A and B are shown apart, each in its own frame.
Chain A
Amino acid sequence: MNKLTRAGLGLLMTTAVATVQAEEVRIGMITTLSGGGSHLGVDVRDGFMLAIDQAARDDIEVLIQDDARRPDLAKTLSNEFMQRDEVDIMTGIIWSNLAMAVVPSVVRQGTFYLSPNAGPSALAGRLCHENYFNVAYQNDNLHGAMGAYMREQGFERPLLMAPNYPAGTDALAGFKHLYEGEVDGGEVVDELYTQLGQTDYAAEIAQIRASEADSLFFFLPGGMGISFMKQWQNSGVEMPVFGAAFSFDEIIIQAVGQAAIGAMNTSEWAYDLDNAANRAFVEAFRAAHERTPTLYAAQGYDTARLILSALDEAHPDDQDAFREALRAADFASVRGDFRFGPNQHPIQDIYVREVVEGTDGKPTNRLVGLAIEDIQDVYAEQCRM
């Protein structure tokens, strides 16, 4: 074979590859599928893939990797996705500390990132980026909404409790921001900070009992909330309990059992939210996985549907057009109304749910009403895009 033919063949092959890539869309998902808190990642994945499967498009390839909740691993995986697999869009990260390790460099290098869960304040404010979209919430949203709801319901002396780590202190700050707003209402009695990963709450419960509080708001994600609620039930303390949906998703309240009943929690979505998109989603998810979806599954589903709606308009290689299509958020969200604020985080309604006994005797969430309408995070004004 002479040199010229070889060069010609090579050229032919590169153009062939290029045309395939121009048509196909690769999505890289890094999420937590093993270790503590993996049910969040599993639900995000299952919700996301449900929407992809329903779309039945053969030009979309989704690559899924497990980060085991480790920032270093997530970082390595994101580098692989960008350099080896050359993905167009990335998504999937559950935890804010992992998102902080991965997202800024991904979006700077020109890949789109859509967050199906983590919404750290820095990415909503100072580090916002035109290629970064958050389809779930800014982390403070649900806590703030509960602050607003509890003030409106006339609770005057809430006691707050959270683990002593950034998301914990942010949660309480978010709550207080909307609880201690303009109307002179109540006052926070005390703030208890626990250790991250703590499993025994006897000492905190004794302190709550001894306090003057009329209600309890807590943020204890994952196993911490399960332990706390079970111990709370047997402690004999009578006090209404409030939290964000992170401590009361369908999987956690099954593990908590009867102790969860009566707890109120805020969520941007509920499985009994009455709109056509949501009814179809819940039915399809239950049929596919034989369980009720959690808010994480709904977020994964919405993320995929947003991507699909934008792909109908443009290919991610045409960055400006694709970005515009994402900003338009022209899809039927399972949450009902959905739109992006200037920092590309949602402006959305937050609902209140109550944990009740379901028809099968197991605890489940029931929609109670609206906590706050069109909430937007306070970090948007720090965002210069």
Chain B
Amino acid sequence: MSATLLIEQLINGLQLGTMLFLMASGLTLVFGVMGLINLAHGSFYMVGAYVTALTTASTGSFLLGLAAGSLAAAAAGAVVELLVIRRLYHRSHLDQVLATFALILIFSEGTRWLFGSSPLWLSPPEWLAGSVALPGGARYPVYRLMIIAVGVLIAAGLYLLISRTRLGMRIRAGESDREMIGALGIDIRRLYTLVFALGAALAGLAGSLVGALQSVQVGMGEPVLILAFVVIVIGGIGSIKGALLGAILVGVVDTLGRIFLPALFGLFMSPSEAAGVGTALAAMLIYILMAVILAFKPQGLFAAHD
């Protein structure tokens, strides 16, 4: 196992982590501020990817597509908040799960009805295609480096937004005492819509970025959503810092586990058995990680409400 391979895999883990962060930050904000479990977050991921694919195909500009994808996801988020989510804040978590699960079905079947079940075509633009040499000789796709850069920028932007702006102050206030900020004359309903749309926009951006790498199809959001939930549970529900750290932890552990566990079992097993056992264990690894972290820190690494 060479050092270049290790470095390359670490970057892969980082890239998966930044993408998970885009998903998890919105999810954790919505849960932290409104106390809402939103299973339909993956649908905004899908909306972002579909709109990006369609806009890129019709205008030829990937950047325009990215912007359109994020905006469309934000708009979908705002509409869903106004029509459905608003009625769920005072209901139990079970009702929220039920209603947002229904939203998943509506979004998925609606998308299938509009665009069919064949995947849409979306690729990274020419200027981001190809790969660059890493220190050490291996080559790495430019597009994946770009995803890492976008993830870092968004993380920094969110940090500034929450710690330095008036909106951020209201979000923090909403997290710690919902009734009080309403009493102080802040339009809590508009704040909720805004936060929900922001979360949806981040999910849409993640979907757009990843759609170009993977495939744009119905149901693409749900596998990522599961990982994003693992991330926010590890990071501590409601904490952006926790989401960032949790996302990178999950990304790196998942990537390295997939590669090194089969190799590890290969030391004392036949190659095909080692591949089978190693792959199976690698699939469980992040859940084991989550269980271990929860055993020591039941609230997650950086819980917002202690």
Q: How far is the CA of A202 from the CA of B219 in the complex (A)?
A: 21
B275: chain A residues within 8 A (beta carbon): 164, 191-193
Closest to B263 in A: A207
In the complex the two chains form, is B223's CB within 8 Å of A236's CB?
no
Closest to A223 in B: B215
Q: How far is the CA of A226 from the CA of B119 in the complex (A)?
A: 9
Q: How far is the CA of A190 from the CA of B280 in the complex (A)?
A: 17
In the complex the two chains form, is B255's CB within 8 Å of A203's CB?
yes
Task: Give the interface SS of chain A, mostly helix, strand, loop or mixed.
Answer: helix
In the complex the two chains form, is B214's CB within 8 Å of A199's CB?
yes
Closest to B254 in A: A203
Count of residues in A whose CB is under 8 Å from the partner chain:
40
In the complex the two chains form, is A191's CB within 8 Å of B271's CB?
yes
Known A-B contacts A34-B112, A207-B5; the reply to A234 vs B129 at CB < 8 A is yes
In the complex the two chains form, is A197's CB within 8 Å of B120's CB?
no
Which of A249-257, A281-289, A349-357 forms part of the interface with chain B?
A: A249-257
Closest to B255 in A: A203
B258: chain A residues within 8 A (beta carbon): 195, 203-204
What is the distance, in angstroms, from B250's C-beta to the closest C-beta of chain A? Answer: 13
B213: chain A residues within 8 A (beta carbon): 200, 227, 230-231
Selected contact of B139 from candidates A191, A230, A236, CB within 8 Å: A236
B210: chain A residues within 8 A (beta carbon): 199
Closest to A200 in B: B16
Selected contact of A236 from candidates B4, B16, B141, B259, CB within 8 Å: B141
| In the complex, A327 has a CB within 8 A of chain B | no
Q: Binary interface profile of B, 196-220, with partner A (CB < 8 Å = 1, else 0)?
A: 0000000000000010111101111
List residues of B (105-153) whose CB comes within 8 Å of A's CBs: 112, 117-121, 123-124, 129-131, 138-139, 141-144
Selected contact of A35 from candidates B117, B215, B282, CB within 8 Å: B117
Known A-B contacts A193-B262, A234-B131, A235-B139; the reply to A257 vs B272 at CB < 8 A is no
B144: chain A residues within 8 A (beta carbon): 202
In the complex the two chains form, is B15's CB within 8 Å of A202's CB?
yes
Closest to B133 in A: A236
In the complex the two chains form, is B223's CB within 8 Å of A34's CB?
no
Q: Binary interface profile of B, 272-306, with partner A (CB < 8 Å = 1, else 0)?
A: 10011001101100000000000000000000000
List residues of A (72-115) whose CB comes within 8 Å of B's CBs: none
In the complex the two chains form, is A193's CB within 8 Å of B9's CB?
no
In the complex the two chains form, is A202's CB within 8 Å of B16's CB?
yes
Known A-B contacts A194-B279, A206-B8, A235-B139; the reply to A199 vs B223 at CB < 8 A is yes
A207: chain B residues within 8 A (beta carbon): 5, 259
In the complex the two chains form, is A257's CB within 8 Å of B121's CB?
yes
What is the distance, in angstroms, from A249's C-beta to the closest C-beta of chain B? Answer: 11
In the complex the two chains form, is A235's CB within 8 Å of B131's CB?
yes
Selected contact of B5 from candidates A199, A210, A230, CB within 8 Å: A210
Q: How far is the CA of A227 from the CA of B212 in the complex (A)?
A: 9
B223: chain A residues within 8 A (beta carbon): 197, 199
| In the complex, A292 has a CB within 8 A of chain B | no
| In the complex, A384 has a CB within 8 A of chain B | no
Selected contact of A230 from candidates B142, B215, B217, CB within 8 Å: B215
Closest to B215 in A: A226
Q: How far is the CA of A345 from the CA of B251 in the complex (A)?
A: 45
What is the distance, in angstroms, from A196's C-beta to the closest C-beta of chain B? Answer: 9
In the complex the two chains form, is A236's CB within 8 Å of B5's CB?
no
In the complex the two chains form, is B279's CB within 8 Å of A251's CB?
no
In the complex the two chains form, is B123's CB within 8 Å of A230's CB?
yes
| In the complex, B2 has a CB within 8 A of chain A | yes
B218: chain A residues within 8 A (beta carbon): 36
List residues of B (1-39) whose CB comes within 8 Å of A's CBs: 2, 4-5, 8-9, 12, 15-16
Q: How far is the CA of A42 from the CA of B117 in the complex (A)?
A: 10
Selected contact of B214 from candidates A193, A204, A226, CB within 8 Å: A226
What is the distance, in angstroms, from A266's C-beta to the closest C-beta of chain B? Answer: 23
What is the distance, in angstroms, from B9's C-beta to the closest C-beta of chain A? Answer: 6
In the complex the two chains form, is A251's CB within 8 Å of B215's CB?
no
- Other A-B pairs beyond A199-B214, A206-B8, A258-B123, 20, CB < 8 Å: A42-B117, A195-B279, A195-B283, A199-B215, A200-B214, A202-B16, A202-B144, A203-B255, A207-B5, A223-B119, A223-B214, A223-B215, A227-B213, A231-B213, A234-B130, A236-B130, A255-B119, A255-B120, A255-B121, A257-B123
When A and B form their complex, which 10 residue pairs have the shortest distance between CB atoms, in order from nearest?
A236-B131, A227-B214, A226-B215, A236-B139, A202-B12, A255-B119, A234-B141, A199-B214, A38-B117, A193-B279
The chain B residues found within 8 Å of chain A, CB to CB, are 2, 4-5, 8-9, 12, 15-16, 112, 117-121, 123-124, 129-131, 138-139, 141-144, 210, 212-215, 217-220, 223, 255, 258-259, 262, 271-272, 275-276, 279-280, 282-283
Return 26 A-B CB contacts under 8 Å, by A number: A34-B112, A35-B117, A36-B217, A36-B218, A39-B118, A42-B117, A164-B275, A164-B279, A164-B280, A192-B275, A193-B275, A193-B276, A195-B279, A200-B213, A203-B258, A206-B12, A223-B119, A226-B215, A230-B213, A231-B141, A234-B131, A234-B141, A234-B142, A254-B118, A255-B215, A258-B123
The chain A residues found within 8 Å of chain B, CB to CB, are 34-36, 38-39, 42, 164, 169, 190-195, 197, 199-200, 202-204, 206-207, 209-210, 223, 226-227, 230-231, 233-237, 251, 254-255, 257-259
